């Protein structure tokens, strides 16, 4: 006899505005407890010192996490000049100091070097694995960590504020795998200065934006009033760039059994027109609910992830 899972079979996304000084893992645990959900996960770790958008998946939404991890993101961060730290944020030990204070014009002039596809070496204090160990664990143990450069894509980088000569605030839109702390390190080096991240906020992950993000305190208040569902977003929220195809109840039944369905020519053409280059993934819906994520092949939909909603 199968063991009954603890918690409620709740499915959907919470667009959490993660507070300062809380790890992403602890944030997920807090939200899971508030909803008494059976399963929970997040799409893209935020450092404890960072705030902002942390999409948290509950229940069947955890099956869509990989799609959101790959989504484009936006950040707002402040560079503090004068000190380079081991972690490239304000908590790290000081590695170097400098009196150089780049002007606003100098910062704006150097930013185009970092737009487009660039090579970026991740910071040693990161979650990347080296011989099975997290890089930050090795760095904290005093070991020298050398990470290879990776290709990342930065779509835009712009100055939004220059509070004083010691600080400048930027907005960046980027692809997956981009490290803001590494970007700040490289900008400072390009300007012959020392600098580190003094404030960091993620403002967007795919379709999840800071404007629609909710605070933990707000979720707790809803919990007291038994109104948590008001903050719950549909499972398909993470799939905003994947074409949706409405299927019949009969086809939905077949997909949920793991069997493929045949599309008529007009359906094939309609889906092809909306597919991203190089993608075959289609979201099948029936009666307003997610049925399955499918791969379109030779005029058929083959289910790859089935949803129990």
- Enumerate residues 6+ apart whose C-beta is below 8 A from 171: 74, 75, 76, 156, 157, 158, 160, 203
Distance between CA atoms of residues 20 and 33, nearest Å: 20
Hey, what are 236's tokens? 């398909």
Query: Is the separation of the CB atoms in 190 and 182 below 8 Å?
Result: no
The yes-or-no answer on residue 47 being catalytic is yes
Integer angstrom CA distances of residue 39 from 6, 155, 194, 264, 309: 9, 34, 43, 37, 14
Q: Which of 17, 21, 36, 47 is catalytic?
A: 47
The two tokens of residue 122 are 């991740």
| Number of Cβ within a 10 Å radius of residue 73 | 24
Q: How far apart are CA 49 and CA 184, in angstroms?
A: 15
Torsion sign (Cα): 205, 208, 213, 216: negative
For residue 261, give the nearest of 269, 252, 270, 272 by alpha carbon: 252
Nearest to 290 by CA among 62, 43, 56, 35: 62
Beta-carbon contacts of residue 120 (< 8 Å; ≥ 6 apart): 149, 150, 151, 152, 178, 179, 182, 183, 186
The distance from CA 125 to its chain's CA centroid, rounded to whole angstroms, is 18
Q: Which sequence positions are flagged as catalytic?
A: 47
């Amino acid at each position: 006899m199968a063991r009954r899972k603890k918690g409620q079979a709740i499915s959907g996304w919470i667009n959490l505005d993660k507070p300062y000084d809380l790890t992403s893992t602890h944030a997920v645990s807090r939200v899971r407890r508030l909803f008494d959900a059976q399963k929970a996960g997040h799409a893209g770790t935020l450092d404890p010192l960072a705030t902002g958008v942390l999409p948290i998946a509950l229940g069947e939404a955890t099956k869509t996490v990989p799609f959101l991890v790959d989504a484009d993101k936006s950040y707002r961060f402040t560079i503090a000049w004068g000190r380079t730290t081991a972690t490239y944020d304000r908590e790290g030990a000081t590695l170097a100091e400098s009196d150089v204070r780049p002007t606003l014009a100098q910062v704006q002039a150097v930013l185009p070097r970092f737009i487009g596809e660039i090579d970026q070496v991740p910071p040693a204090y990161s979650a990347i694995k080296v011989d099975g160990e997290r890089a930050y664990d090795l760095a904290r143990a005093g070991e020298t960590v050398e990470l290879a450069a990776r290709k990342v894509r930065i779509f835009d980088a712009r100055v939004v504020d220059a509070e004083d000569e010691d600080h400048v605030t930027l907005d960046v839109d980027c692809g997956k795998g981009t490290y803001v702390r590494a970007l700040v390190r490289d900008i400072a080096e390009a300007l012959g200065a020392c600098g580190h991240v003094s404030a960091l906020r993620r403002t967007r992950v795919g379709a999840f934006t800071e404007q629609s993000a909710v605070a933990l305190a707000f979720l707790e208040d809803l919990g007291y009033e038994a109104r948590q569902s008001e903050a719950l977003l549909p499972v398909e929220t993470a799939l905003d760039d994947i074409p949706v195809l409405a299927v019949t109840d009969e086809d939905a039944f077949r997909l949920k059994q793991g069997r493929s369905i045949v599309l008529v020519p007009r359906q094939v053409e309609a889906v092809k027109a909306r597919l991203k280059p190089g993608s075959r993934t289609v979201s099948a819906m029936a009666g307003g609910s997610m049925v399955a994520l499918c791969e379109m092949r030779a005029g058929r939909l083959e289910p790859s992830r089935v949803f129990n909603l």
